[in-house]
Structure 1
C-alpha cells in the first residue's frame, strides 16, 4: 500500500500546514476531503497483510475505539441534541479519527514510521517558527488576554500564524508536541542534534510569548519526564536552571505576572486563573444534567450556553467528554487512554529488555510517551475529544508495537 502511504504523508502536510487556505486552488478542490476519500478507498481496496489486520483487531486500543464509535451511534436517540451530533459532532470526530485508521494501515515498517515522524514533526515545527518569524519581523502577536477586573487591562499573546487558526494555548500545545521529539532524536544523529540546538530554545521562547499557563505546566511535565528517564540528572537540572534564568530575562512584567498567577492570588492575572477553576466546576454541574449518555457529541458549547451561563465549550477534556457522552462515555474514553499507555509501555519493554537495539525507535518511543503524558495534563485546561492527537496516539502506539514485533531480533520472545 505504498501509494496510500505517500498519499497519507501529503494529507498530513496539507492538514497541518493548511495548504487549502494558503493556496486557494487547493481550497476550491476541497483537497483535504478528497485525500481522505482516496485514503479510505486505498484501505478498502488495497492489498492488506492478513497477519497485520489480525494484530490490529486484537488490540485493546482498536476494540475501545470501535466501542466508542458504537456507543456514540447507539446512544444518539438518548442524547439531548441528536441533531447537533449529526450535523457537526460526527463530522468533526470522523475528521480526527481518520488519523488512527490511516496510521495503523499505512505505517507498517520502520522506514515508513521514520518518514512519517519527519513529516509530522516538520509540519509542527513550521507552525511554531512561522508566528515567531512574523513576531520578530513584523511585530505580530495574533491574540490578547485581559488582566485584572473590568477587562480593560490587556496583554498581547502569540497565537498561530494567519493561515493557522490556533489560539495561544493551541500554539503552546504545538510547541510542547515538538520539544520531546527534538530532545530525544538529538541523541540519534549529529543532524538532529544541530537542529535541536536551534529549535528547542526557539520553541521555549515562543512558549513564553503565548503566556499559556497550561503550556508552562506542560513544559514542566516534559522536564520532569526527561529528568526521570535520564542517566545524567545533574546535567539536566543545571541546564533547566540556566534555561529558566535566561527565559526570565526575555519575559516582560505581564508575562511574569501571568505565570505567577498559577500559584499566587496576588497577581493581575489571578482572576482569570480562578475563573478557569470555577469554570470546571460549572462544566461538571452541566454534565450532571445528563449524567448517563450526555448532551451529544460536539455539544459542549451548546450545553454550556443553555445551562452553564457561558457560550463556550468546556476547557477541560474530561468535563467536555462527560458533558457530551455522559459518564459512561467518559469511562470508555479513559479506557482508551489506558490502552494507549499500555501499548507505549509494551513498546519500551520490547526495546529495552529484549535483543532489539534500535536507538531511533527507542527515541521515538520515549518521545511519544513524554508527549502523551504531557497531553494528559494539558487536557485539564483544554478540550479535545474530537481533536486529532488522541487518535494519532492510538494509531502510533499500535503501529510501533507491530513494527517492533516484526523485527527479526524480536523472535517472539515473551515480555
Structure 2
C-alpha cells in the first residue's frame, strides 16, 4: 500500500502535473527566446492555454476542491483587484496595462496551476524537480559565462557576473535568484534519500554561491546575512548552527577575491570603486517619499518612473519594494500587500506545525503501522513549507534594496502555500486520525 492511496489524495492525471512541471521550467529558462522555433509556435502560450483549460474542467468538476485557505485566498483577490484599479487610474496607463497583463495576470496563473494540480507528495516532488532542473541550468550557464567571460563585464569598478536570461540579466536579479534557491537546498537536503539527488542539491548550492560572490551585488550580500539568521533561528541547536556558520564565514573571507570583499564593505562605508550608486539610491528614496506624500493613494501600477520624471526630471525606479508598493498602489495597497504576505507566512507556519504534530503521533504510536508510510511525505511537507517561508523572508529582505512587486516570486510562494495546505489536509484524513485541522 502506498502512502498516496492510504491518504486518499485527490487523483490528478499525471500529464497535467507533467505539463505544469515543463511550463515552470520553460518559464524560468525562457525557452521561447532560446529556441526560435519554440518562440515562433508560442510554446509557452500553448502550454499555458492547455493548463488553463484543464484547470477550468477540474474546477467545474469539483475535483480541485479541498482545504480552501480562505484568508490567504481573500487577501490575494483583494490585492489583485487593487492592482487592477490602479492600472485603470494610473499616471501612465499604457505602461500600467502592460505590466498588469504581463507581470500580474500571467504570473498569477503559476499560483493557480500549482494550487490546482499539485495535490499529493508525489506531484510535489515533480514540481520541485522541475525547479531544480531549471535552476541547475541557470547556475551552470552562470559558471560557464564566468569561465569564458561571456557574462562578465565591468560595472561599478569590478567585474560582475550577469544572468543568461532577461529575467536575471542584471547582477542584482541574478544574485537574488541564486539566494532564493538556497532555502530549498538547505531544507530539502535532509529529507532526500537518493545520493544522486543529494549530489545535485550540493551542486546547486555551489553554483548559487558562485553567483552570489561574483555578481558583486551588495543586495545579495545583505540577503546572505538574512539567510544565515533565518537558518540559525529555525535551527533546534542555534548555538551549534551559529558556530558552524561563523566558521564557514571565516573560511570564505580568505577565499573570496579582494575586490568583492571591498564591494561588500562598501555597504557600510558607502565608498565605491567607481560611480555613486549609493548616492543615487538615497536620492531615489527621497524622491519616492515626496511622491508618496503628494500621492498617498498611489500613482498607478509601475507609474513611479513617469511620476518621478514629471516631478523631478529623474527616471530611475524606486529600488525599494515597500516604496514601490506604496507609491504604485497607495498606503492602502501597502497594507493589503502586507496582509497578503503575512497570510502566506501564517499558512506555511500552520502547515508546518500541523505536519510536525501528525509526524509526532506516527512516531509515538505502535498501532498505526500503515500511517508510518506517510512519515516521508510529512517530512517533505515540513521541509518545503520551511523552505518557502525562508524564500519569502529573503525576498522581503532583498526588497529593502530592490523592487520586485511584479515578479514571479510571490505567486510561486502563493502556489506552494495553498498546495501544501491542501496536501496536508488530505493526508490527515486517514481514519485513525481525527485532529481538528480547522483549529490549527
What TM-score do the two structures reach when normalised by structure 2?
Answer: 0.85
Whole-Å separation in 2 of the counterparts to 1:129 and 1:245? 26
1:175-214 per-residue CA deviation (whole Å, 9 max, x = no partner) reads 1111111111221225244334333233222211011111
User: Match of 1:132?
Assistant: 143
What is the root-mean-square deviation in Å for CA atoms of aligned residues?
A: 2.4
3-state SS, counterpart of residue 55 of structure 1:
coil
Query: Judging changes above 3 Å, is the alpha-carbon distance between structure 1 residues 255 and 159 closer, same or farther for their aligned structure 2 residues?
Result: same
3-state SS, counterpart of residue 50 of structure 1:
coil
Counterparts of 1:61-100 in structure 2, within 5 Å, are 61-100=72-111
User: Match of 2:308?
Assistant: 304
| 1:204 maps onto 2:209 in alignment | yes
Whole-Å separation in 2 of the counterparts to 1:190 and 1:235? 27
Q: Which moved more, 1:183-192 or 1:358-367?
A: 183-192
Whole-Å separation in 2 of the counterparts to 1:32 and 1:238? 46
Q: Is the 8 A contact 1:286 1:308 kept in 2?
A: no
User: Match of 1:43?
Assistant: 55
Counterparts of 1:15-414 in structure 2, within 5 Å, are 15-46=27-58, 50=62, 52-53=64-65, 55-56=67-68, 59-136=70-147, 138-146=148-156, 154-161=157-164, 165-188=168-191, 189-191=193-195, 192-266=197-271, 268=273, 271-292=276-297, 294-354=298-358, 355=361, 357=375, 358-408=378-428, 411-413=434-436, 414=439
Q: Is the 8 A contact 1:258 1:269 kept in 2?
A: no
1:32-59 per-residue CA deviation (whole Å, 9 max, x = no partner) reads 2222222212111236673853633x52
Whole-Å separation in 2 of the counterparts to 1:69 and 1:164? 22
Whole-Å separation in 1 of the counterparts to 2:245 and 2:87? 49
1:74-99 per-residue CA deviation (whole Å, 9 max, x = no partner) reads 45553323343234433321122111
Q: Is the 8 A contact 1:405 1:412 kept in 2?
A: no
User: Match of 2:16?
Assistant: 4
1:278-313 per-residue CA deviation (whole Å, 9 max, x = no partner) reads 322222222333211x22213233233333443222
Query: Judging changes above 3 Å, is the alpha-carbon distance between structure 1 residues 12 and 39 closer, same or farther for their aligned structure 2 residues?
Result: same
Query: Judging changes above 3 Å, is the alpha-carbon distance between structure 1 residues 144 and 303 closer, same or farther for their aligned structure 2 residues?
Result: farther
Whole-Å separation in 2 of the counterparts to 1:212 and 1:273? 12
Which runs of no fewer than 5 residues in structure 2 stay unpaired? 1-11, 363-374
Whole-Å separation in 2 of the counterparts to 1:291 and 1:232? 45
Q: Which moved more, 1:78-87 or 1:11-20?
A: 78-87
Q: Is the 8 A contact 2:86 2:301 kept in 1?
A: no
3-state SS, counterpart of residue 180 of structure 2:
helix
Whole-Å separation in 1 of the counterparts to 2:48 and 2:176? 25
Whole-Å separation in 2 of the counterparts to 1:167 and 1:285? 28
3-state SS, counterpart of residue 380 of structure 1:
coil
Displacement after TM superposition at 1:234 (Å): 4.4
Query: Judging changes above 3 Å, is the alpha-carbon distance between structure 1 residues 173 and 92 closer, same or farther for their aligned structure 2 residues?
Result: same
> Higher RCO, 1 or 2 (CA under 8 Å, sep at least 6)?
2
3-state SS, counterpart of residue 385 of structure 1:
coil
Q: Is the 8 A contact 2:90 2:303 kept in 1?
A: no
Q: Is the 8 A contact 1:260 1:267 kept in 2?
A: no
Q: Which moved more, 1:173-182 or 1:401-410?
A: 401-410
Query: Judging changes above 3 Å, is the alpha-carbon distance between structure 1 residues 49 and 173 closer, same or farther for their aligned structure 2 residues?
Result: farther
Whole-Å separation in 1 of the counterparts to 2:33 and 2:102? 20
State how many pairs are aligned.
Answer: 405
3-state SS, counterpart of residue 156 of structure 1:
strand
Q: Which moved more, 1:268-277 or 1:25-34?
A: 268-277
Which runs of no fewer than 5 residues in structure 1 stay unpaired? 147-153
Whole-Å separation in 1 of the counterparts to 2:27 and 2:213? 26
Q: Is the 8 A contact 1:21 1:163 kept in 2?
A: no
